[in-house]
Amino acid sequence: MNEIVEADFSDIPEEIPPFKSKGKNRGKNGQDVLIMHWNGRFGNRMHTYAYAHERAKMFNGTLYLPSEWEGDQLFNLNHKVIYDDELRLHINQSTKPFDEIDYRMTKINEFSSRSDFDFKYVNADNPNENYTDFGQDVCIDSVSAYHTSIFEKMKISDVHSLYEFKDEVKNLDVYKRLEDKQGTYDIAHLRRDDISDVNYKDNGGYSVVAESSYLKAFEKYGYDSKEIEWTTDDRTGNWIKEKHQYKRGGWHYPVGSEVVPDIIFDWLPDFLRLYFARSIFRANSSFSWWACNLAKGRETPPKIFAPRLDKRVLYAREETFKQEADFDFEEGNHPHWLCVAGEDQCTDIVFSDE
């Protein structure tokens, strides 16, 4: 028998705001946005937050989250965690049958009926919905990165302001060391981890980009492969024999990565290595896409090269078992990190001011 799992409310402020009086949007001028569910890890969450923040700003509303997340540790963000204990308990479930959008919407509708909110579900990847004025609050359950219209209404300059590192990050020893080295080294990000797990049958739709694709790209753009630094989430040593000197932290839904002393997150040094590089050969990864995107806001931006995904070869599928795929790299960060040309509707990510 499935049981409701008690949620962790430790991130709720001691002074919880009182319920608003019943009656839809009484006294409210803006349209609030609720992220009702986190999809994926840090890179995906950055997409969700950026879109939801943009929509809330567009309609003079407040952004509400289901929990704290890694961005709270890294950036100076402006949002609230939804304050209703009962709602948070239900929308932060991570086991079936409660981890379903229909279940979450039922609980959100119940919350709307007893509060001053009036939430309508919006599909962020539908251009007829993502920035439409519905005259009421909206909730989303999406990575929010799979349609070009999402980015056509956003400015990269605004995103850079949104995701400005906190002073606490800038004062880290690892940040200062890499800042001193910025623009003096070239790096390649090789993604493996979950997408190269033979037990992960759908691989999240990700292909495993062959190391040979990177070597061809180095030659194509005039780089010496012996001079390229590598960063990877491969912990097996089957690909890049990289020494990981930092303690690994855990990961728990809904808040995400565990905080680690001295470096905040175990992956932050790698994110910063990408951010401060002179040239970046990124992976088919929202993690390195965001490192590249933020790096474009540096005083001297890096050169960026990314794989153009023109097929989907899943590592754990029987017909393509343990196959790595070859892709051509092109200059720029615009190629989507997951969408495949000819199959998906968002093969390039381009902001309105690019």
What are the boundaries of each domain within the chain?
33-152, 166-331
Residue pLDDT, tens place only, 165-211? 999 999 999 999 999 999 999 999 999 988 888 888 777 899 999 99
Residue pLDDT, tens place only, 123-138? 999 999 999 999 999 9
Tell me the whole-structure pTM to 2 decimals: 0.91
C-beta of residue 267 within 8 angstroms of C-beta of residue 257: yes
By percentage, how much of the chain surpasses pLDDT 70? 90
Which 3-state string (H, E, C) describes the chain?
CCCCCCCCCCCCCCCCCCCCCCCCCCCCCCCCEEECCCCCCHHHHHHHHHHHHHHHHHCCCCEEECCCCCHHHHECCCCEECCCHHHHHHHCCCCCCCCCHHHHHHHHHHHHHCCCCCEEECCCCCCCCCCCCCCCEEEECCCCCCCHHHHHCCCHHHHHHHCCECHHHHCCHHHHHHHHHCCCCEEEEECCHHHHCCCCCCHHHCCCECHHHHHHHHHHCCCCHHHCEEEECCCCCCCCCCCCCCCCCCEECCCEECCECCCECCCHHHHHHHHCCCEEECCCCHHHHHHHHHHCCCCCCCEEEEECCCCCCCCCCHHHCCCCECCCEEECCCECCCCCCCCCCCCECCCCCC
pLDDT in tens for each of the 354 residues of the chain? 444 444 443 443 444 333 333 344 444 679 999 999 999 999 999 999 999 999 999 999 999 999 999 999 999 999 999 999 999 999 999 999 999 999 999 999 999 999 999 999 999 999 999 999 999 999 999 999 999 999 999 999 999 999 999 999 999 999 999 999 999 999 999 999 888 888 887 778 999 999 999 999 999 999 999 999 999 988 777 776 555 555 678 999 999 999 999 999 999 999 999 999 999 999 999 999 999 999 999 999 999 999 999 999 998 888 999 999 999 999 999 999 999 988 999 999 999 999
